[in-house]
Amino acid sequence: MDKEDKGMAKEFSRMFLILPEIKELLSQNKKKELKKLFYHYEPIEAVEILKEFNLKDRVSLFSSWDVDFAAGVFEKMDKDDQVELLGAFDETRKGEILDEIAPDERVDFFEQLPEKMVTRFLAIMEKEEAQDVRELMKYDKNTAGGRMTTDFAQIEEGISIEEALKTLRETAKDLEMIYYIYVVDRRDKLLGVVSLKDLIMAEPEKKIDEVIHTKLITIPIDMDQEIVAKRIAKYDFLALPVVDNEQKMKGIITVDDLIDVIREENTEDMYKFGAAGKHTEDYLSTKPFTIAKHRMTWLSILVITGFVSSIMLERFPFTLKKWLPLAFFVPLLMGTGGNAGIQAASVMVRSLATGEVRLRDIWRVIKKEFLIGIMIGVGLGLLTLIRAFTLQISSPLYPLALTVGLTMIATVTIATSLGAALPIIFEKLGLDPAVVSGPLITTVVDITSLLIYFEIARRILGFG
């Protein structure tokens, strides 16, 4: 991480060295120079530079840029900044930018706007582009339809390579991805794909049909984004075509969309494992109360479940009065059990997410984790036994130490098996295994280990 900071710092300085120059040029209103200055920067870098300027300067900077660079920058900005900035543009600039940004990014932008603003913005856009927004807004955000872009390269069957290249040259300027060209029939039904590599390698007179790949991996338009991500990651394509029920070509999902999806899904999994509730768009800008509310849900459930442990201890007060040293080890036994459970659960949740472990492996995994649990349990049990012998107590030491040591073995074994089994059982039941969080495991293990503790104590110390 240290190294990374250095790497980041280098990029950082590359950008921020030019801040004084930009300020100077802005104050002199030298638009041409500003435009030229940004030739050396990627849109995402311009976004970071913009953060250092106020709204008025941002508008000036945008007006100095070509519309395609401006659109590229705009689509990478935070949602809040986009709305604020767009509000400050004049009507022409508004329309230009909205027409130019990538369809998938544009829909993300529109989806967070109130209905009234959507209508107002659509009115100033070109008809065709506005129609595209309306079409894409119909799809659920988390499906292929909500993720795809409609700017893909398309040609009709039957034409020659030369004609295909000509069509491509005419349309390529506005497309996000021209390296795969989708071949459709007259009714837009997807027939196959040719890559730009195929096109430039083939004789110009050849027909498209001679180079077309008809073995197609397609994405149904209503497919969940998580499955889409897995499918794209599995096949090493730069993009996959999205089709409707009638195999009509609707859009494409590119590999960089996939990276965003993977990132989101991983964040969600981590939040779930931490039982931290719903992931909000942006941690820093979310109100503490909102975050507290999200986290409360799980915590309340776990606290109420946790009451069971206090009730169990309440029922055994005579035992505890007589064998008070038993109480000293309650946190240690519960804590270690919980930790062993978290270890196994984190491994299993992740293995299920990557597909390394599948449902059919369930018995193999549980058997394996049981063995692992015994091995760890025996090791830690011995450690605890030794600690117990250091007690300064009046009660007989030997049976007490034995009780504590044996409980450690049993607790860790059961916790490990349970930690591994729960995510698989959740998946088997059609639930999300990532819901098996650390806190859920510790709470379940807490109660289990108390039960084991008292049972072993009862048998060895002989009360009951």
Q: Are 238 and 177 within 8 A, CB to CB? A: yes
Residue 317 in contact with a copy of itself, rule: CB under 8 A: yes
Applying CB under 8 A, which part among 112-120, 123-131, 183-191, 342-350 lies near a copy of itself? 342-350
Applying CB under 8 A, which part among 20-28, 107-115, 131-139, 261-269 lies near a copy of itself? 261-269
18: closest CA among 43, 44, 45?
A: 45
Q: According to CB under 8 A, which residues from 230 to 249 bind a copy of itself? A: 230-231, 233-236, 238
Residue 9 in contact with a copy of itself, rule: CB under 8 A: no
Burial-class residue 258 by CB neighbours within 10 Å (0-12, 13-18, 19+): buried
Residue 42 in contact with a copy of itself, rule: CB under 8 A: yes
What six digits make up the tokens of 134?
């309306």
Among 19, 55, 123, 217, binds a copy of itself (CB under 8 A): 217
Residue 354 in contact with a copy of itself, rule: CB under 8 A: yes
User: CB-based contacts of 371: which residues, under 8 Å, 6+ apart?
Assistant: none
Residue 310 in contact with a copy of itself, rule: CB under 8 A: yes
CA 94 to each of CA 47, 125, 258: distance values in angstroms, whole numbers, following the listed order: 18, 8, 29
Applying CB under 8 A, which part among 5-13, 49-57, 108-116, 144-152 lies near a copy of itself? 5-13
Rounded CA separation 439/342 (Å): 8
Query: Smallest distance from the beta carbon of 436 to a copy of itself, in angstroms?
Result: 11
Residue 361 in contact with a copy of itself, rule: CB under 8 A: yes
CA 197 to each of CA 168, 193, 212, 453: distance values in angstroms, whole numbers, following the listed order: 13, 12, 12, 68
Among 89, 298, 323, 454, binds a copy of itself (CB under 8 A): 298
Applying CB under 8 A, which part among 79-87, 134-142, 241-249, 282-290 lies near a copy of itself? 282-290
For residue 220, the SS3 value is: strand
Between 130 and 343, name the residue whose CB sits nearer to a copy of itself: 343
Residue 454 in contact with a copy of itself, rule: CB under 8 A: no
Order of strands, sheet of 249-254, starting from the edge strand that comes earlier in the sequence: 219-220, 239-243, 249-254
**Pattern 389-408, binding to a copy of itself, x per CB under 8 A?**
--xx----------------
